[in-house]
Structure 1
């Protein structure tokens, strides 16, 4: 079993959780979804995150989803499991079960009640102790959702205090200067290196890579874009990476709409044959005829522009 570490890089797509039209879990679509992520060239995936509608799942559903994803993922395709929960006992239990089932690590976001950075430090000290030192942790920094602001200095202090915190999911926005501070502050004599993967729909991916990010961890419904952009940048072809990104940008921008974005992503995944239904569990948006027409046009334009920019559309 491979695990995430301080040098993990590439694209770890945030996976959707498939539901049937009636809202029941669609475990069969997990298989086709994983296959689509592999075909796109992703290095791994993250499950039970925000895009995975984790907070809308019952405990037994979360475990069923986790086990199906991990069972389908081939050897070497690393899977990070989101285990954020209000209670640390539940967090630790799910995290340990995930690792026993073959996960590469777990992702934890601060709970909204953490009002100070000292409380953030104490919370992660407890979480890490309860998980055990052999469980790699990705720290999810997403203050737009959690309401918890965490400074670059505190993130660096966390990885110094807890060797198992090996990765940062960077989602603060605006956050490019924060990313720079974390990158320059880690991998030093006093602070071990921290892997940095970026979210926010990939909206600022090229700039984040230029600032030292190691890759992407977000749920864009055409993950081959992220794979190709990250690869080109790693090859030293920053301009080609940005040219390709620009061809995808209208769709990237469209998907990051608050609230509506998840419905758009799931509809796109349905159209691509990755899942059977675009169902989003309540509370959640339902696409209108106008929404669908906009998506039609944006996808058609991307299909025409991306190959001309040297990109690909995975089957």
Structure 2
């Protein structure tokens, strides 16, 4: 399977949900259907065991089971695996398992702790040394969740010092100026390019693309919206990209509610036939009948707007 090695990766790497049965058990049959669903929407690749994939609620054995099942189903579709962990030993064990199964690369977020850049820098050097120079790394920059803000200067320094750090998953918020700063640094011939894919549900995707991002690495229950927006932008049709994106914006925004977004996303995926149950693993939100009626009204409005667009 293709690895992320050349720092030019672009497109959409969808953050995959992790399906559960109503009793909380891992639903591997739905995971097969979900991989097929994502592939049919035209995504460039998958990212599994991310924060919205409920990785922190899985046992070590379940994480490996998810990796094995996705890798056996994905075929030639590249798969990035989230391996963030409080312990570097645990991170390395899971990362090596993923790479042995054919992963394209590993996504790692800064460990929680004091927001000191020397600590973050030391941590990523230790992670890179433990995994080895042959393992492509994706730096997940998500300070709203980790509590660890990271400057463009540190990201660039790590990218320069660690050749295997080939991609930034950009989820700072607000963070458009960070993309601009990183791209400006690359005007110097001595500075290697860094692939940048953006998160936050794609909420700012048109603006991020305009700032120089290469695409998206995020979750949304309508992956085709992200795929088509990125493709239109890359084709130079920026207004068409924004017009298409605008058709999905109300439901995309609704899905971004903190704490409830995953439950909403899973309900849409269930209604679209991608998974059997919308269950999140405890402790997780459950939608009320009012929540469901509201969401399904938004789904119907989205479908009408798309039909009107032809």
TM-score bracket for the superposition, by shorter chain length: over 0.9
Question: Cα distance 1:307–1:187, how it changes in 2: closer, same or farther (>3 A)?
Answer: farther
Q: Does 1:269 align with 2:262?
A: no
Give me the whole-angstrom Cα distance separating, in 1, the residues matched to 2:187 and 2:56.
35
For 1:157, the equivalent position in structure 2 comes to 157
Q: Does 1:292 align with 2:302?
A: no
For 1:302, the equivalent position in structure 2 comes to 302
For 2:236, the equivalent position in structure 1 comes to 236
Give me the whole-angstrom Cα distance separating, in 2, the residues matched to 1:230 and 1:306.
17
Could you list the runs of 4 or more consecutive aligned residues of structure 1 that deviate by over 6 angstroms after TM superposition?
A: none
Q: How do 1:20-169 residues align onto structure 2 when only pairs under 5 Å count?
A: 20-75=21-76, 77-169=77-169
Give me the whole-angstrom Cα distance separating, in 2, the residues matched to 1:115 and 1:270.
39
Q: TM-score, normalised by structure 2?
A: 0.98
Task: Out of 18-27 and 301-310, give the one that drifted further.
Answer: 301-310
Give me the whole-angstrom Cα distance separating, in 2, the residues matched to 1:118 and 1:90.
22
For 1:11, the equivalent position in structure 2 comes to 12
Spell out, residue by residue over 1:61-103, the C-alpha distance to the aligned partner (whole angstroms, 9 max, x if none): 100011101110011x100000000000111111111011010
Spell out, residue by residue over 1:210-263, the C-alpha distance to the aligned partner (whole angstroms, 9 max, x if none): 000000011100000000000000110000000111110001100000000000
Shift of 1:272: 0.7
Give me the whole-angstrom Cα distance separating, in 1, the residues matched to 2:94 and 2:128.
13
CA RMSD across the alignment: 0.9
2:52 partner SS: coil
Q: TM-score, normalised by structure 1?
A: 0.96
Give me the whole-angstrom Cα distance separating, in 1, the residues matched to 2:35 and 2:239.
31
Unpaired runs of 5+ residues, structure 1, are: 311-315
Shift of 1:183: 1.8
